[in-house]
Amino acid sequence: MKYLPFVFKHLRRNWVRTTSTVVAMAVCIFLLCTLRSVLSEVDGMLEASSASRLVTRHSVSLTFNLPMAYESRIQSVPGVKRVAKTAWFGGSLPAKKEGQADADAGSDSTTDWSNFFNNMAVDAEAYFAMYPELVVPPDQWQSFKETRSGCVIGSKLAKKFNWKVGDKFFLESFIPPYRRRSGPFEFVVSGIYDADLAKFPGTDVSTMYFHFDYLKEGVAPRDIGVGTFMVEIDDGNQAASVGKAIDALFENSSATSITETEQAFKASFIAMAGNLAFLLNGIGLAVSFTILLVTANTMSMAVRERRTEIGVLKTLGFSSAHVMGFVVGEALLLGILGGALGVFGSQGLLYAVSHAPGVSDILAGIGLTGLELKPAVAVLGFFIAVALGLFAGLVPALSAYRAKITDILRTV
Amino acid sequence: MVSVKDVTKVYKRGSEELKVLDSLSLDVPEGEFVALMGPSGSGKTTLLNLIAGIDQPTSGAVVVGGRNIAVLSEGELAKWRSHSVGFIFQFYNLIPVLSALENVELPLLLTKLNKKERRERALTALKVVGLADRSTHYPRQLSGGQEQRVAIARAIVTDPLVLVADEPTGDLDAKSAEEILKLMETLNREFKKTIVMVTHDPRAADRAHVQRHLEKGVLQLR
């Protein structure tokens, strides 16, 4: 411990170099932690999927709808327990307050897209039966069933907008067929759902669900379609054969389908951005390796500059192990400082992103509900920084360890 | 105090062997001030390094304070150096990021003294060399002569058995060199320090009690 001030003083000697190395290290750890957090969240989201739930969508793209008539045909496939139509509404709160919107909620009312959140039209009975993890109090559920414009909202969403049961609000969709001349859709909060996140980690509690029929009645008949059919099957082990049977039904139609497990569906949704895990891990690895070289170079320069001092220290009686310890100590300190800075930076960014208006709900829309720096990721990032520092300092430290006093002082 | 017995030092340069010291013997009694002189390459710095325990002989014995340091391992030598020898370099070799006081305190980090005791001792050493008022100054804020005095304070702070100096006035102007030599005389006379000094400067050598001349690794009788 008594040598620590000595090590610190050496780091301060060339503060520009020390600072830039620490910042480089911090950026590396920041990237690693942030990317790992995203991956960990994606993994959590995929794990939250049930094997007995299938998703049927248009084979071309999610942006194409399937005909509503497919519902009964899917229901007839052996092994299918229930089917629920869903449509992603893409609605956002109008900029005007509810009171004003009541009066003149016309097409001229502007929309505040920063208040965007995930909202879906669903066949409520069937959909919620498939998702036992979404829990709505019985009285609220009854009210939702009986209210045409009713909706149930996740507890996180309710907290965000301070909505209570009975509150009314308007939503304006950005999807053209769902934009009405008569103005935004009006909704009333019938219930607030929650989930046991300890039992069902990764469950989204920030989505709003409303009746599919309400959407159907509100738009022109030619404009309504089904984004996805959620299909619950009797036996999760039969997912492949049931999915194949469903797709076979529409093989020769103008709207062919793809049916996959909910997990595969979410994974393919994420994979629209490419092989995310490979990409993120690749970036992390490349950055770490680069920083290892940068830090090793810094330490090598530091040791080369101080050859005479190393000779002097050894002459004064400091052992080779002492001198090696000083060099490793400096490199470790660089790692610790960079690691701490990187972890805090990542924590700050993830907090900012997950609390930014609109962004958090877009993330929730793709299932990333709890994007945060998990302690395990923070510890991993910090450990990697320390390890990078250690490895970077090892070679120069060994060179300092082996240096002979007479060789060093002869060149002075 | 210092007894070099039949010491030979051979350096190997590839397949070539270079004999720097050839069966050399030297005795330096306690409290003596010895100047080692000789032309470049005569082996005087090598002899000094052997006495200081920063190099080891190919054969022979180097006994300092009754202990043959020629047989010590590298780790044992480092430990021995920390309390038994004070080294004064030609180019001072102070650590630039440390203040004068911290430079002097540096060898004491290897002792069991606490921080307060270390500071007190270092300050005392700086007082001896007349630089107590410059304790917070960094090497770049000191003149060459002052830097060398700080280096001397660093060499004496552990109260070593022997002080070895490798051309301590070689990088100084005449006035500063005179101050350093006076200081070394004082250390020898008043603090009874045994000093072995390598020098090219006859005026510096004149301040020593004994002058020994080396030529081609052999002590000359004069």
* Shortest CA gap B49–chain A (Å): 8
Q: Do A406 and B154 touch (CB under 8 A)?
A: no
Q: Residue A106's pLDDT is what?
A: 44
**pLDDT: is A306 or B32 the higher one?**
B32
**pLDDT: is B157 or B41 the higher one?**
B157
Q: In chain A, what residues touch B98 (CB-CB under 8 Å)? A: 6, 9
Q: In chain A, what residues touch B55 (CB-CB under 8 Å)? A: 405-406
Is the CB of A10 inside 8 Å of chain B's CB atoms?
Answer: yes
Q: From the candidates B93, B106, B162, B198, which should be mutated to test the interface with A, based on the most A CB atoms within 10 A?
A: B93
Question: A103-107, B188-192, B215-219: lowest mean pLDDT where?
Answer: A103-107
Digit-coded pLDDT (tens) for B91-124? 889 999 999 999 999 999 999 999 999 999 999 9
* Shortest CA gap A296–chain B (Å): 22
Q: Report residue B116 as tokens.
A: 């307060």
In 3D space, the residue among A114, A398, A59, A65 whose CA is nearest the CA of residue A250 turns out to be A59
What band does A108 get if pLDDT is binned at 50, 70 and 90?
very low
- Report helix, strand or coil for A150: strand
Q: In chain B, what residues touch A409 (CB-CB under 8 Å)? A: 54, 89
- How buried is B114 (Cβ within 10 angstroms: 0-12 exposed, 13-18 middle, 19+ buried)? exposed
Q: Residue A111's pLDDT is what?
A: 56
Complex ipTM: 0.92
Q: Residue A231's pLDDT is what?
A: 94
Report whether pLDDT(A104) > 60. Answer: no
Q: Residue A242's pLDDT is what?
A: 92
Q: Residue A303's pLDDT is what?
A: 80
Digit-coded pLDDT (tens) for A32-53? 888 888 877 777 666 666 678 8
Distance of alpha carbon A287 from alpha carbon B147, whole angstroms: 45
Q: Residue B62's pLDDT is what?
A: 94
Report whether pLDDT(A363) > 90. Answer: no
What band does A138 get if pLDDT is binned at 50, 70 and 90?
very high
Q: What is the mean pLDDT of chain B?
A: 91
Distance of alpha carbon A327 from alpha carbon A314, whole angstroms: 14
Q: Residue A308's pLDDT is what?
A: 87
Strands B194-198 and B33-37, sheet pairing: parallel
Q: In chain B, what residues touch A320 (CB-CB under 8 Å)? A: 74-75, 78
Q: What is the mean pLDDT of chain A?
A: 83
Q: Do B87 and A316 touch (CB under 8 A)?
A: yes
Report whether pLDDT(A217) > 70. Answer: yes
Distance of alpha carbon A339 from alpha carbon A386, whole angstroms: 7
Interface of B with A in 35-74 (CB under 8 A): 49, 52, 54-55, 74
Average pLDDT rounded to a whole number, residues B26-43: 92
